[in-house]
Amino acid sequence: MPKIEVSYKDLCNLVGRKLSVEELKDAILFAKGEIDAVDGDLLKIDVKDTNRPDLWSAEGIAREIQGRYTKNVGCPKYSVGNSNVVIKVDKKMKSVRPYTVCVVARNLKLNKEALSQLIQLQVKVDQTFGRNRREFSSGYYDLDKIKSPINFTTVKPDGIKFVPLEFREELTPKEILEKHPKGKEFGHLLAGYKEYPIFIDAKGEVLSIPPIINSNNSGQITEKTKNIFLECSGFNLKFLLPALNVMACALADRGARIETVKVAYPDKTIVPPDLTPRKSSVDIEYLNKISGLHLNEKQITNLLGQARYDAKIKGSKIEVVYPAYRQDIMHQRDVVEDVIISFGYNKIEPVTPKLPTVGSESEIEKLSGKIAEIMVGLGLQEVLSYTLTNSKNLFDKMNLKEERIVGIENAVSDNWNVFRNWLLPSLLEFLSANKHVEYPQKIFEIGDAVLIDESKETKTRDVRKLACAIADSNAGYQEISSMLDAFLSNAGVKYKLKAVEHNSFLNGRVASVLVEGKQIGVIGEINPVVLENWNLEIPVAAFEVNLDSI
């Protein structure tokens, strides 16, 4: 969880009301945080929510406290002007670092505390939301030292020289990766590229080499900086735009006038940031059912106002408007959570259930436990992997055409953005990460795959599966089929094998597993193309079966 440090005095100034440290301990609970330590004026806060980057600075925490301790309730409003600053994105960026979004903040009055918070927010957003600069990175610049238009293009490793931040000598991008501390830390993010991304203005002055380092000229802001240019660059706009909104609103809360920046791509033009409030709705009956609070309409709208929503009753629903820095509102349950937070978890009276229930282990869990015992008895090691993965692992690396699967709407990372629809890719990923371990490697996993099912309320269903893989110089169809036979015989299941074609397996060495004429799985030797995709240099034989069908 993000841990941040804020000035007690600065936080009270942002809230607009002086609160004692003891009062702040209660108030910060509304911002999903806890004060871990107090060191003079310094408050060390542990923020418990990784989906709310807007809470990772004094500005964001102050907004939440204002709603409960001051008259500043409802959705914060931010006005946005036009900066006339233009970013020109070179078509070469498509394969290097394809996207950037930017904002201008004018008339800032920075002090030590404000500057500290802006930099801290940038670092936390890059580290956590940006996956340590892998998905995106951001940078502040002194706008008064920059001339528009700014070019977002590429440069050869030895193609230009500039003074990087906190250095005195000019270095080429290649030298920066070799000599600068940030180059050594993040240089791996540019490994394999023949040219590196660069921001360079109309005067030929380098702004930065993202995601590595800013220049020591325009890329350095101080307490004397009045006008800031902020850019976020990376691989996916659905991550970049929320991050930009969070940082832009923090600048606005420091008194800055926010202005848009025109970003011209080869095929389109965008003009971020868009700080227009978003809209959603929540069913009153649903809210009371989930919360268990039995609130009336007035109570609900008041609590939502404290949580920084504008709320309006419309029939059986409450229409809500929330600020653009909130990217975590995906379902009405998210709104219900904010109502409960405003009400106060500590104020909720425990209620003893009127109907006692007796818990028991589900049948599928009982079956999974028995099967695990069988597989361990056959000499295999059980592994456990994530249900979340990515399309490349499920399809590209498995030599399959992509098909419709269940994905995450606002995924934080492209590496973890879909639910797996089968288990074998997870086992191959495990084997790929353990090439240094002695062979043979015999592993299995019992876990859930998530499939699309339009008949369900969630349009999805979980399917319990078993996958087994053997990696060895002698691994083949005979050995893996013996393993399948031993498993199904011990489970008391009669089955048949039927030759099929499957691109993940070697042609002529693959079969479907049939139980009562219904296909429940697949078995065979993994295709050499797939092995190469996973950087595996040893044969692998595997099977996967659907336990729900047994």
User: Could you tell me which of 403, 416, 522 has the C-alpha nearest to residue 452?
Assistant: 403
Q: Is residue 357 part of a domain?
A: no
DSSP 194: S
Q: Give 457-515 as a DSSP string.
A: TTSEEEEEEEEEEEESTT--HHHHHHHHHHHHHHTT---EEEE---TTEEEEEEEEEEE
Question: How far apart are the two ends of the chain, measured CA to CA in Å?
Answer: 41
Q: What are the helix (H) ranges across 169-236?
A: 173-179, 181-186
pLDDT at 354: 78
Q: Is residue 50 part of a domain?
A: yes
Does residue 65 share a domain with residue 185?
no
- Give the whole-angstrom CA distance, residue 404 versus residue 331: 22
- The owner of tokens 């220049």 is 215
Contact 260, 102 (CB under 8 A): no
Total domains in the fold of the chain: 4
Question: 307: which residues sit within 8 A by CB, 6+ positions away?
Answer: 64, 67, 338, 339, 341, 342
Q: Is residue 54 part of a domain?
A: yes
Does residue 317 share a domain with residue 233?
no
Question: Where does a domain end: 241, 270, 299?
Answer: 270
Structure tokens at 308: 């920084």
Cβ atoms within 10 Å of 121's Cβ, excluding its own: 24
Q: Is residue 244 part of a domain?
A: yes
Mean per-residue pLDDT pooled into runs of 10, the chain (550 residues): 92 95 94 94 92 94 95 95 96 95 96 95 91 92 96 96 94 95 94 95 96 95 96 92 96 96 96 96 94 93 96 95 94 94 91 78 89 93 94 94 87 82 96 92 95 88 95 93 93 92 95 94 96 95 92
- Give the whole-angstrom CA distance, residue 429 versus residue 243: 31
CA 327, 328, 332, 338 dihedral sign is negative
Q: Is residue 427 part of a domain?
A: yes
Among left, alpha and beta (phi > 0; psi -120 to 50; other), residue 294 is left
Does residue 371 share a domain with residue 330?
no
Structure tokens at 446: 């019992």
User: Could you tell me which of 214, 256, 3 has the C-alpha nearest to residue 120?
Assistant: 3
pLDDT at 23: 94
Q: Put the strands of the sheet holding 278-283 in their side by side order.
A: 278-283, 317-322, 310-314
Does residue 107 share a domain with residue 228?
yes
Does residue 176 share a domain with residue 325?
no
Q: Is residue 350 part of a domain?
A: no
CATH of residue 137's domain is 3.50.40.10
Structure tokens at 216: 């020591």
Does residue 306 share a domain with residue 165?
no
- Give the whole-angstrom CA distance, residue 49 versus residue 184: 30
- Give the whole-angstrom CA distance, residue 303 versus residue 293: 12
Question: Where does a domain end: 270, 294, 328?
Answer: 270
Q: Is residue 75 part of a domain?
A: no
- The owner of tokens 């050594």 is 184
pLDDT at 7: 96
Q: Is residue 351 part of a domain?
A: no
Does residue 332 share a domain with residue 472?
no
- Give the whole-angstrom CA distance, residue 456 versus residue 458: 5
pLDDT at 412: 66
Question: Where does a domain end: 270, 302, 319?
Answer: 270
Does residue 221 share a domain with residue 293?
no
Instruction: Verify cis geometry, omega within 30 degrees of 0, for the bond prior to 211.
Output: yes
Angle (CA) 473-479-480 rounded to 5° is 105
Contact 385, 429 (CB under 8 A): yes
User: Could you tell me which of 77, 53, 80 has the C-alpha nearest to residue 262?
Assistant: 80
Does residue 181 share a domain with residue 116?
yes
CATH of residue 65's domain is 3.30.56.10
Q: Which domain holds residue 59?
A: 3-69
Q: Hey, which residues does 162 pair with through a beta bridge?
A: 171
Q: CA distances (Å), 125 to each of 29, 54, 416, 428, 435, in order?
A: 21, 9, 18, 32, 34
Does residue 222 share a domain with residue 167?
yes
Q: CA distances (Å), 458 to each of 35, 450, 461, 462, in order?
A: 38, 11, 8, 11
Q: How many helices and strands in the chain, by DSSP H and E? A: 15, 25
pLDDT at 491: 86
Does residue 242 share a domain with residue 96?
yes
pLDDT at 359: 81
- Give the whole-angstrom CA distance, residue 483 versus residue 409: 39
Does residue 63 share a domain with residue 112?
no
